[in-house]
């Protein structure tokens, strides 16, 4: 009975840590707004798909 509880706890912890690693990994992929990489990414993205905030940030950081 105890071994079954320990296994269940270990499985839960593994899932939690895997989810946390996935979230952290995905959040690290986006370049910082205003950086050269971000400006390049925005140039490659169709302007019709930009949000109003993205357009304002692009004008602020990449044009002026």
CB atoms closer than 10 angstroms to residue 35: 12
pTM, to two decimals: 0.55
The count of domains in the chain is 2
Structure tokens at 56: 């304002």
The answer to whether residues 3 and 15 belong to one domain is yes
The answer to whether residues 26 and 49 belong to one domain is no
The per-residue pLDDT for 22 is: 73
The answer to whether 18 and 26 have CB atoms below 8 angstroms apart is no
The per-residue pLDDT for 11 is: 87
Q: Which range of residues forms the domain containing residue 25?
A: 1-30
The per-residue pLDDT for 1 is: 73
7-63: pLDDT as tens digits: 878 788 888 877 777 777 776 688 999 999 999 999 999 999 999 999 999 999 999
The answer to whether 61 and 34 have CB atoms below 8 angstroms apart is yes
């Amino acid at each position: 009975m105890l071994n079954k509880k320990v296994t269940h706890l270990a499985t839960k912890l593994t899932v939690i840590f895997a989810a946390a690693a996935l979230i952290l990994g995905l959040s690290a992929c986006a370049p910082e707004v205003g950086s050269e990489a971000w400006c390049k990414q925005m140039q490659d993205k169709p302007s019709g798909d930009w949000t109003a905030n993205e357009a304002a940030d692009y004008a602020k950081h990449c044009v002026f």
